[in-house]
Structure 1
């Protein structure tokens, strides 16, 4: 069905774009959306894959594809070798590089994280010893966030399921807070025509008010001198520059100007706040840049002297009685250590006395305070479960790039990998005498677990992740 722009939206865009409106509307109405992937730097793939793809101008690991393949049919996608993402959204990494010190670990929060694109982008950009909290308020979006984070394989991501207000107890704790706020979706009209039917000027105003609520909570979490990134996938000034001006004046932030290469095609906007500060915004229009509509602004918190309440993690609170994480015993530590290449770099916790997580030691002391106040769905690497003397490894452990060489690895062909992902029966060759757990890999990248028993083997790929027929 042909895309028809709402008349009031078209009028608003004419005001914004003037003589560029025709090129903008023709792009939306006549050209297909761009398809791009972002490569995982910790899971390199063989040469030749994406070889003919053009690079995303502002992100070295981004690739623009001529056609959109069926990604779910590619075992490499299931391995976490790449993530399918809008090329405009990848600019978040460039903003972080320009605004943050990447030479040292940071504490970072992705406030509105699902489905995980910007979370995994931050994980690939920040110092590897950083702590990254991926929060999502909508419970039904948590499974997709968990799956994408686990497939990406980073050990320093914690996933939480909370309203932004729930973080208020942590004060100025974070060096970086990314708020990719829910918006009216104007930038996605071409990709998601249903957004056109849901759009109205009233929706724009409602989204703007909701974004200000989220921004107010996010702003309070940034350390003095820290960075607040604000982004949307809409064009409305009420949701973009006007919100940046509002938070700048009301929460003591200074908008930052980024260095933009002319060939990128990004539009810089410059405006003033009520208090006279200069606001810099960066707009991605589909007739000028590859990808859909996007907006981002970067702000630095002014270096005020923190109060006694700031930077103090709470030791107790209203959710203390629902504290699901506890350290494992010495016997369990010895058992779990055999499943990691570098076990001394982790502390081990059980969640609800069943699931085991490996948390980087540098952040482990923070977990009790976070779990006391927040709903922590996952922290670090989900290792698996301990049942008596047996350990059942989790899919996240297989995908974490931390499984040591002694664990047997079985290479799969493309046909075998597809059958494995579909949980179909197939002939799995393995050395004589091999028993127990083995890691199946595709093109040397981990895919999942099998358990080999006398005369048979079991496929432990998660049923909810399986490749549909």
Structure 2
């Protein structure tokens, strides 16, 4: 019997006997070092939103000590006693709180500026926000999440990060084939798994583990890969990852896939130097499996992961045309009135469309989305209401201070910024006292949300569902 103590809660959990026996058999002499890692506190990480601020500038303003994560240039460890989720910079989307090992997945597949990328199991948004930072505004990201409740968290994180060129879908992998066959430069499959690598982080995962779950996950993983390979362009890269140790969900899934799809090959990637190789001896001995990566908690400062990157050598190179959503532009007069009143360069707001009563700025390239459940068509700007346009929180977070005519800029260490995040009224700067209209609220120059000033009164428009109680 081996127990894990969860340091944050004080809860003690017994590791499953079947899991212990399996890891002893797999690891042999290495088992004792591995199992003792469960007596260590886990590591905490955050990743800088480089679309909003450079790493160098972030380190100048962040008030707590950070230590670089070796495999991610924008990733940093922070101490357990630090609470970065309770800092206004988090509300401004300057960073994403993410387990350090999880950052390796996107680094391994290395999306490039302008790439077209699919994150097929995207919630809650860690990998999606990391991809968006790498592909820039000229790329296109399709973030898909089959679970509607998890998709809500995905949308929230995308909007907080100020990402403009991401389409969010709520679909099964199979349903994507009709629209995206041979479409993507990169596909990221963070597969559902038995979660053994997260035992040190989440006691609930320990309770739910079983050998039957491992086998069930293995079948699901193989089914997903048998669909998504068709979504890649020739020369495209497929990243497969899990947060589990079981060979049945890792090397064996990859080997089975390669046998069925000889047009794919495993490739070496730059970040592999930080991690242990895959284990061919835990499958049928195929030496190519050593190109996979295993992240062991007793060898790195992070939780357990498995990563494989595969390249598609050939296939159909399908050409896609840019699809336009038809819209009644006459209905946009209230939106353009808002832009003239609130923005420095209203003419920059182009490629605008209406879906229902919601206004979006579409990505430069829009694929055929017919028949798909779309949660976001790009940058969600706001809603047309009777006789007016109301800007969204997503619009505020996607702007910069220099984009707007009116701004209330608060200090990160002030009580006023916390009052704003609580949904309370705050003082109006003298320069805005006699002005009326929508104004951007910022923290140290970074957008937090909207307020509305009228007749010397301040109306707080920070979303009720995001307001803090501390």
Taking structure 2 as the reference length, what is the TM-score of the superposition? 0.88
**1:32-51 CA-partner distances (Å, limit 9, x unpaired):** 11111001112223615266
- What residue is the counterpart of 1:24 in the other structure? 34
- What residue is the counterpart of 1:216 in the other structure? 226
Q: Do the aligned partners of residues 222 and 305 (structure 1) sit closer, same or farther apart at CA in structure 2, a change above 3 Å counting? A: closer
**1:342-391 CA-partner distances (Å, limit 9, x unpaired):** 85574111111x1101113x214x2xx21x12111112211112235522
- What residue is the counterpart of 1:5 in the other structure? 15
Q: Do the aligned partners of residues 17 and 91 (structure 1) sit closer, same or farther apart at CA in structure 2, a change above 3 Å counting? A: same
Shift of 1:141: 1.0
Return the alpha-carbon distance in structure 1 between the equivalents of residues 310 and 272 of structure 2. 20
Residue pair 2:71, 2:271 contacting (<8 A) in 1 also? no
Within 5 A, what are the aligned runs for 1:152-191? 152-169=161-178, 170-191=180-201
Shift of 1:402: 5.0
Is 1:90 aligned to 2:103, yes or no? yes
Is 1:348 aligned to 2:352, yes or no? yes
Is 1:131 aligned to 2:143, yes or no? no
The more displaced of 37-46 and 284-293 is 37-46
The more displaced of 48-57 and 443-452 is 48-57
- What residue is the counterpart of 1:76 in the other structure? 89
Shift of 1:239: 0.8
Residue pair 1:50, 1:63 contacting (<8 A) in 2 also? no
Could you say what secondary structure the match of 1:299 adopts?
strand
Is 1:143 aligned to 2:156, yes or no? no
Q: CA RMSD in A?
A: 2.5
Is 1:444 aligned to 2:445, yes or no? yes
Taking structure 1 as the reference length, what is the TM-score of the superposition? 0.88
- What residue is the counterpart of 2:303 in the other structure? 292
Residue pair 2:144, 2:168 contacting (<8 A) in 1 also? yes
**1:140-170 CA-partner distances (Å, limit 9, x unpaired):** 1122111100011121111111111110112
Q: Do the aligned partners of residues 68 and 230 (structure 1) sit closer, same or farther apart at CA in structure 2, a change above 3 Å counting? A: farther
The more displaced of 55-64 and 419-428 is 419-428
Instruction: Give the one of 159, 176, 192 matched to 2:202.
Output: 192
Number of aligned positions between the proteins = 445
Shift of 1:228: 0.6
- What residue is the counterpart of 2:51 in the other structure? 42
Please state which structure has a larger fraction of its residues in helix: 2
- What residue is the counterpart of 2:361 in the other structure? 358
Shift of 1:130: 0.8
Return the alpha-carbon distance in structure 1 between the equivalents of residues 297 and 345 of structure 2. 45
Shift of 1:70: 2.9
Shift of 1:232: 0.8
Residue pair 1:154, 1:400 contacting (<8 A) in 2 also? yes
Return the alpha-carbon distance in structure 1 between the equivalents of residues 189 and 219 of structure 2. 14
- What residue is the counterpart of 1:319 in the other structure? none
Could you say what secondary structure the match of 2:269 adopts?
coil
Shift of 1:225: 1.1
Shift of 1:406: 4.1
Shift of 1:426: 3.6
Return the alpha-carbon distance in structure 2 between the equivalents of residues 391 and 404 of structure 1. 21
Could you say what secondary structure the match of 1:441 adopts?
strand
Shift of 1:68: 4.3
Shift of 1:172: 1.1
Could you say what secondary structure the match of 1:278 adopts?
helix
Residue pair 2:360, 2:377 contacting (<8 A) in 1 also? yes
Shift of 1:237: 0.8
Return the alpha-carbon distance in structure 2 between the equivalents of residues 248 and 403 of structure 1. 50
Q: Unmatched 5+ residue regions in structure 1?
A: 316-322
Residue pair 1:326, 1:351 contacting (<8 A) in 2 also? no
Is 1:67 aligned to 2:65, yes or no? no
